Amino acid sequence: MVNTKVMLSGIALDNPIIPASGTFGFGTEFSELYDINILGSLSFKGTTVEERFGNPTPRIADCTGGMLNSVGLQNPGLKKVCAHELPNLAKTFRKPVIANISGFSIEEYVECAKAMDAQENVGIIEVNVSCPNVHGGGMSFGVNPEAAAEVTKAVKAVTKKPVYIKLSPNVTDIVTIALACEEAGADGLSLINTLLGMRIDIRSRKPVLANKMGGFSGPAIFPVALRMVWQAYEAVKIPIIGMGGVSSAEDVIEMMLAGATAVQVGAANLKNPFACKEIIEDMPRVMDKYKIENLSDIIGGAH
């Protein structure tokens, strides 16, 4: 009998599979399709202080091996998430969740972190300093080690819950930023967010996305994500949640061998709403195939 359990900052997960923020909403729609309690955890829709409609349309574009999105952090806002979405989620999902937060200033990150710290069903706070689709915030914090460290320190000062910083791949050196976050007190890292990309409509000779550029996700980015998880694992001592193009149980194993303790599944959920369920169900078969008894034993096993 294989053991799929892992420990993430003191939280026991039945398995390392976590739907990535922005690809699973607040779990409601998916709970109508299957029992989402089979998941290790879930990272819910990225939350900002104020309600956001998001970017103008069109904001989705097809790509070879993936997709572009420029949704722009559409969400109902902090108060509604805490008063409505999280209590509603607690009715269907009985495990600690990951609260993905974003902001356009240090103060906004702090306000979101304080509110999430008070939510009973939030186990980890995932701080998004890496969204490529918003102006004046998001990724601008994640591409600079000093700014990423400043956000980390500010959030850590107002919460007792583990803080994971979600890093951007759109940087020259992921290790410098990972180390800056660790030194500033981060309990863990989430990487990677989407790569910056674009498409042009040949007929109109204009960018497909209204925002011109957007986040590229899907199977094509998996090797980039794997490389960055590997590099971060070599440099830091805190746990890593790996993500980026994960779409199979084999991908999960590979990501864990690179150094991830848990693995988020993103774009695959948008293509197939049963993606996480199928990966979890296939995990025992793949573990048997590669003679893995305990998943926790393989974390960083390729180093």
Helix-strand-coil percent breakdown of the chain, rounded to 5? 35, 20, 45
63 catalytically annotated: no
Name the token pair of 206. Answer: 């204009």
Q: What is the DSSP string of 97-164?
A: EEEEE--SSHHHHHHHHHHHHT-TTEEEEEEE---TT-SSSTHHHHT-HHHHHHHHHHHHTT-SS-EE
DSSP E strands, 42-194: 60-63, 66-69, 97-101, 122-128, 163-166, 188-191
Report the chain's C-alpha Rg in angstroms: 18
E strand or H helix at 193, and its extent?
Answer: none
Catalytic residue among 63, 82, 112, 131: 131
E strand or H helix at 29, and its extent?
Answer: helix 28-31
Q: Which residues, listed in sequence order, are joined to residue 108 by a DSSP beta bridge?
A: none
Residues belonging to the active site:
131
